[in-house]
Each structure stands twice: as structure tokens, then as C-alpha cells.
Amino acid sequence: MIIRVLGAGAGGGFPQWNCNCRNCGRYRRGEFNGTARTQSSIAVSGDGQRWLLFNASPDIRAQLEAFPAIWPKHGVRDTGIAAIVLIDSQIDHSTGLLTLREGKPLEIYCTDMVRQDLSTGFPLFNMLKDYCTVNHHPIAIDGSGFEIPGVDDIRLHAHALKSKAPPYSPHRHDPHPGDNIGAIIEQISTGKKLYYAPGLGEIEPHVFTAMQSADCVLVDGTFWTDDEMAEQGISQKKAREIGHLPQSGPGGMIEELHKIGPARKILIHINNTNPILDEDSPERKILNAAGIEVAHDGLEIEL
């Protein structure tokens, strides 16, 4: 199984266009040891030919152009994308669907909650009807396995995560199971598994079990501390309040990842304020010592 990280950043990417935080400012001045990141998305394939796209970020066009394996190869109009899985309905994970409007009908797999949000509060599915149309395929969140036609040798298992729907959602303040999911991505022929959850607010028992079963976990690396944005004068909202488990501190991601055993551990969806983006930072050294990697655009993982 091949996993390609198309984008490793959180909403806004890094550097964020209007941000002059410590990271963004130093990056622009050439004082920063780290790389730029587009907004988070991955592609998965069992054969290197047909790809399952997880999320469609606003940066999707540049991400696809930077990935020759997914380029059109047959006929005048073509793509290596067989289907799209939406983990949630957040703007930074769904707006890229508009860029993909100029082709065949989009085969989109998502929960009923995500479909509702993208048909009401942010009606992308309705808008796309006049372009390529959307074929919606519901995702069950009971952990049962399912396969996607055209993506050979791959089976998915999805479960609900504790999180909030996007601000535009009609049920923003009334969370429903399926607003956000985690996914076990399994290669049928080898049994190798990736656990993918770019938005993870709490390590619930079923999440921990899924992480323990995986050969690689690719999970939420948004913030280093719970009050990261407040400390930098950006927002008073805390990481946990908006559905992201910080890496540091008691019960943080570092502590939780230490419990799961020998799986390869990689953080994705890194916010522009997070000090781990600086490869010379003390925080990055802590991750290195813990055996935890930080995803970057173009990272390829083979299981």
C-alpha cells in the first residue's frame, strides 16, 4: 500500500497568507529551518495506479500537479483519482471539490452528517450538480469494512470521533456521530493497516484500539499546547475546544502515542503556529526523541 501526503498543514497552510506569527514571520525572512505546507490531504493506492483521495483541500490543484502518479494518462480527460473520501465537512477538507468540477461525476464517500452539511450550510454538492455532479456513497461508522470499486486491494473501516461540526453547519452546537471520522485503511492482500485521523480531539477506547492495530498512525498534529493560539495573541479558543488534542502535557498526543507500541507514528494537519514546524526547535527534538515524525508535503509511506 502506498500513501502519499499531498498536504500536511492545517487550515490556511504554512505560512498562512495573512499571518505574521513567530513561525510565518521567520519563514518569510529566511530565518526558519522548515518547509512550507499546503492544507491536509492524502492519497492511498494498492497498485500505484488508481488512487483514493482523502479530503479535497483548497490547495488540491497544486498538490495533484506535484504528484505525477495521479496525472491523467488515458484519453483527453482522465485522472488517477478513483474516488474521494471526506473525513469531515470542514472548509479546508472540502473546498477543493470545486476545483475537481471539470471532469466526470465525483464518487464521494462520506457520512450522512457530512452530506447534510455539504448540501445545506455549505452546499457544495448542490453547486456541483451543474458541473460534474456528485455520486454520494454513505459511510457507516460502526467499524464494518467496505471496499470502493476501482480501488483494488483496499478495505476501509470508519468510526466516529468526538468533534464539532464546522461553524457553518446547522448543528454546529449539537454534535452528531459522523461529523468527523477516523479511518483504518487496510491492504487486503498483506493485512497492513494505516490509521488516519487528521482531526482528533480525544483518544476514546475505540480509537486507541484502532491505533494499536495499525502498522502506521497518521494523526492530528495541529497544536503543541492547548493555549497555543491564545499565547500568540491569535485567538482565545483552546485546542481541545475546537476538537484537537495538543501534543504536549498530560494526556497529550505524545503521551498517548507512547502507549500504542511499535507502529510508525506521524503527525499531520500541523497548524502554522505549531513550533514543531521548526526543525531546530526544542519541541521538534522532543518528538524526535519520542520516535514521532512530522509529515510534510510529498511524504510517501509504503506499508
pLDDT digits (tens, 9 = 90+) for 101-139: 987 899 999 999 999 999 999 999 999 998 999 999 999
Cα separation, 5 vs 7, in Å, equals 6
What pLDDT, on a 0 to 100 scale, did the predictor assign at position 184?
A: 98
**Cα(99)–Cα(58) distance, integer angstroms:** 8
Domain count, the chain: 1
Q: Give the Cα separation of 8 and 274 in Å (integer).
A: 13
pLDDT higher than threshold 80 for residue 244: yes
| Sign of the C-alpha dihedral computed for residues 290, 9, 165 and 138 taken in this order | negative
pLDDT for position 142: 94
Q: State pLDDT tens for residues 52-107.
A: 999 999 999 999 999 999 999 888 888 999 999 999 999 999 999 999 998 789 99
The predicted-structure confidence for 1-10, as pLDDT tens digits, reads as follows: 999 999 999 9
Domain containing residue 258: 2-302
- The helix, strand and coil proportions of the chain, stated in percent and rounded to the nearest 5, come to 25, 25, 50
**pLDDT confidence of residue 237:** 84
Residue 182 identity: G
Q: What is the pLDDT of residues 31-43, one digit of tens each?
A: 999 999 999 999 9
Nearest to 138, CA basis, from 109, 177, 114, 159: 109
What's the half-sphere exposure (Cβ side, CA atoms, 13 Å) at 149? 4
Evaluated on CA atoms 80, 84, 87, 88, the torsion sign reads positive
DSSP string covering 189-258: TT--EEEEESS-S---HHHHHHHHH-SEEEEE---SSTTHHHHTTS-S--TGGGT---SSSTTSHHHHHH
CATH classification of the domain holding 62 = 3.60.15.10
Alpha carbons 6 and 56: distance in angstroms, whole number:
10
| pLDDT tens per residue across span 149-207 | 999 999 999 999 987 789 899 988 888 999 999 999 999 999 999 999 999 999 999 99
**pLDDT given for residue 227 in this prediction:** 87
Amino acid at 30: G
Provide the CA 200 distance to its chain's centre, in angstroms.
10
Least reliable range by pLDDT among 164-168, 287-291, 297-301: 164-168
